[in-house]
Structure 1
């Protein structure tokens, strides 16, 4: 089928007079009269059939086009149209529809909403208030915000470590120890007795606390002593991150067997055995409040150790009371804790709690026994005679080995 060209289209009769203004005078003379009269005839026929003029907003396309052509033609009818208008349609023809009002004229400029609250407070919106009620998110006040943060504070017993820092500096200077650069993605496992250089200071890992949990994973808290007389107790993951992000950080090598060598000895270093009682509201734990105790050992501040107990599964996800503390001198904190846990193992409580991520945790540091027995065991450890005694879980007493009738 041959496609019409633009010339073919313009050569056809302009039945609706759409091209009349753009036509030449000669073309107007030939086609105007016929177009006007044809249009008048079509409108007259429509009027007789429907009793009204065609609507320029009609859904029917032909009616809409007829109305548009009639509105345009009726505004300036020719004498021939007036003569041929037997029904008087030109006199009755309605004026063109007025221009639709601009939306900016419907209200004052000051009524335009200035904020999202102005829009939401509009009564005409009829918004359901339930849309703004959080149902699957806990309020900020109830979220687990750490109460324990690893601030840098003065080290109360820095005199116990001062000679050690001087020795390490001398060993680096004479080549006995090496300061190795820490790479960006290097995997570090800080251990007690390790030395690092961080932010220009020598950092000594004095203690690796008992295990805790963070986001469902096992974690440790460290006690870090710095060569300027300060200390901090960050989580191991946080300390590791601070080292890998510090371009000047260095790992100071150990002497002899390297990582297999034992921790440096601190003369007269002190530590603390603490006995904690849970304040948990869990019924199974609350009913054991008079006989359930946690045995822990730390070289740092006990209050800081338990400050974030409510977020720590090691402390049963609840605050604790410190029932008693016992000072240790010149003893390995980790060995003392392990010794106490093994000594009272027959009375270890079988507990479990869910951490913040919903993971089930089984703490191992809680025991069902009189709190006074822990103090007796601490005294025997300090004397170096605990190995001569054993714990009787049935009588809940500490007795001397091979002489059951003799108890403390």
Structure 2
């Protein structure tokens, strides 16, 4: 009796049809896993597998990948981290099958046949310079003790409504903030060497912790691009207005002043102006507000009259002119229609001061809003 054949017949019955080997759990960090994660990072950055004719580092990655694919034990150890399917059995593509077909001795390898597989020059992609440094995702050694609880807490608060996902903006990039990127929560745990670039945006190295137990030192703006293209910010919905203002306006060493948003009231004695209730000018300046309005009575922008400062906000880390444009767009349907000399002042609006202050707070909060002029009320969108 052949026992191997008998055992195979036994396990090929209906009683054992639903029985499968237990799923292998992820192991702790070791040199092989980290080497494989370097390969994953390379493929994500270059959209191709490492080749043996590349740089020394690329050649090393290519040989490591080949070694893992050939060794079943190595492959089994790295398979739980294979987010790109590099270790999956792959069927040959149509192109590969055709190449094998035409390489068969039964067919000629004439130049006409070879030309079928040549890519025209106009279809070839331009070579993109390789970045000097590519952020690597590696296993976070102290994940369970230091970060796992935080991710569980965020999931719980998202489920019960205390947190919610909102549209991402650059000002959300702060230490301790959570984001959802491609379906995975990410913690911005640390920022280092932060400086403002020519495009006015902050950049520097980060320490990002992913909820799958990996970490990365990706650039701050690379993180921002990833969130913009496929993610959201996690927002705490339990903050009061006072909490929010304190959080948003707490100035740190990384904060850079952009300018001032101001609200002015006209001191004009012209009955056409003085008779208008709730008439305010909302503007922006990179100077102090006092310097900006020093010559108001000689300027058509200020209706050829002195003005009174009723409110102002110093803005940090954003293009304050964009902030000003949002305010103007919000109140565009209550804009003052009046000609002053040869100009038409466009920054005067007929709206209560309390509504203006409320709108500024909502814009800082990132909340989409509209203004109902009949009800004199801010409407949340």
Question: How does the TM-score come out when normalised to structure 1?
Answer: 0.31
Larger CA Rg, structure 1 vs 2: 1
Question: How does the TM-score come out when normalised to structure 2?
Answer: 0.33
